[in-house]
Structure 1
């Protein structure tokens, strides 16, 4: 029996219009009523998806969230921290130097803001989507005590595709590097990923790996899909995500999350490999 389900947001739980469908909402509520722990696992900061947690009634003292692709695992109310792993300012400076060499836009996220050496549509979009401030500041002027959670190369999909092949081995081996969206390439501490975040939470809750379902669509979901007892790729997932999943559900426009909850939690079917 599955006891925990970790669900990605963008491209998974949310529709293309960034909304939670009635079917997904109802399935999640029924899963909770059946004693299943429902956790949102997102690349966003907690503040960037708090409104969705509220819509889903996932804001009690014993509800948790995986934010920043696993860099921060905490209670949905923002109090108790299960795990927190960040980068250093030097990491940001080193990656900024690389971004200049590759001619790609860059920004970094703190727990409460997005900081960037120049204003771009990607930086503005990141700030607006997450409801955080957009601070344009030269890299050398960033305060020494600034907590850098993750650094992102942000640009047109074809540019991101091209530079992915040019990331030096010493960089890709030093960080967790994930493509969370066609126009995002993210750099996190080497120990950080959604799988590690979900695993840390499952350990705290005394839930076994085989009792976990993880659902996602993008490169930053691969670790948790591999970790899960049942790893699920959305019908709209990147090809590399579908390749490693145990099961492929419907798309985010077809209530793919509800389909999985109904099939494997509410109806109790056994999982099978694709």
Structure 2
């Protein structure tokens, strides 16, 4: 019987729009694990806003955070992969951000973070009830490599800022925009990706790429979907994501992961396990 590594994005994929894992999805994933498969979460979120879901499913696998820039095992069994932005590039990029104008900057460094100021932050990156290493002008506060940035630009200068960052750092950094619920610019090392993170976990657990089934809905999931042996886009995914996926399942609010696994994987594996 073939076993699989199920690579799951969080927001818009494993989580419904209420940011919950449905009971049906949880039970199906736990049944898959009982049959000898593994589940790995691959998310743009940091550890502080994703670990609770890892625990909720009872996972024993590493956690792929910050779009593959930081992969670590909460249980300390497997190794760690960290692909940060070098300090000199950090310093130069921050200089551009502050010069053109920002409302806030959140800099992730592994499991810790620096913050320009406390205020509204994208829910997926929430810092509520957590303490920053430092709060203030990050051009002077940071003196180390940084895993990733979330930049909250001034609305009047956001397009100028994105163009300048891509012009100056496009060869070394991935620079992405999120438009919902607030304009956010994500910056990370170009070597980092969900595909790289999932590949690292697969190697640690003894899986080949063709044994990976990846689920996603957003542009930052595309590299992971292309890397996996089987790729599944959610019904709520962007058209660009659906166009490259092997399958399109139902939406995150209609338990698309559970439905796909029940139809295409679980029944066959369960039958194969019978004496």
TM-score by length of 1: 0.83
Q: Distance in 1 between matches of 2:259 and 2:16?
A: 14
Q: Distance in 2 between matches of 1:125 and 1:40?
A: 14
The more displaced of 168-177 and 213-222 is 168-177
Count of aligned positions? 264
SS in 1 for 2:11: helix
Matched, 1:81 2:79: yes
CA contact (8 A) 2:63 2:73 kept: yes
Q: Distance in 2 between matches of 1:38 and 1:125?
A: 21
Q: Distance in 1 between matches of 2:216 and 2:243?
A: 12
SS in 2 for 1:73: strand
TM alignment of 1:118-267, pairs within 5 A:
118-122=117-121, 126-128=125-127, 132-134=130-132, 135-144=134-143, 146-154=144-152, 164=162, 167-179=165-177, 182=180, 183-267=183-267
Equivalent position of 2:63 in the other structure: 65
CA contact (8 A) 2:8 2:14 kept: yes
Cα deviation per residue 1:5-34 (whole Å; 9 max; x = unaligned)? 110111111121211101110110111011
Compared CA separation, residues 166 and 68, structure 1 to 2 (3 A) = same
Equivalent position of 1:96 in the other structure: 94
CA contact (8 A) 1:226 1:244 kept: yes
Cα deviation per residue 1:90-115 (whole Å; 9 max; x = unaligned)? 33322223324554443211223432
Compared CA separation, residues 252 and 162, structure 1 to 2 (3 A) = farther
Equivalent position of 1:3 in the other structure: 4
CA shift for structure 1 position 42: 1.2
TM-score by length of 2: 0.83
| Greater Rg over alpha carbons, structure | 2
Q: Distance in 1 between matches of 2:255 and 2:100?
A: 39
Cα deviation per residue 1:221-259 (whole Å; 9 max; x = unaligned)? 111011111112211122322222222211111111112
CA shift for structure 1 position 35: 0.9
> What is the RMSD of the two structures over their aligned residues, measured on CA atoms?
2.8
CA contact (8 A) 1:85 1:149 kept: yes
Cα deviation per residue 1:106-158 (whole Å; 9 max; x = unaligned)? 321122343232344127873346x53344221232242x4411012235999
SS in 1 for 2:26: helix
The runs of 5 or more residues in structure 1 that have no matched partner are 270-274
Equivalent position of 1:22 in the other structure: 23
TM alignment of 1:95-114, pairs within 5 A:
95-100=93-98, 102-105=100-103, 106-114=105-113
CA contact (8 A) 2:90 2:145 kept: no
CA shift for structure 1 position 176: 2.5
CA shift for structure 1 position 73: 1.9
The runs of 5 or more residues in structure 2 that have no matched partner are 270-275
SS in 1 for 2:20: coil
Equivalent position of 1:50 in the other structure: 51
CA contact (8 A) 1:176 1:193 kept: no
Compared CA separation, residues 124 and 232, structure 1 to 2 (3 A) = closer
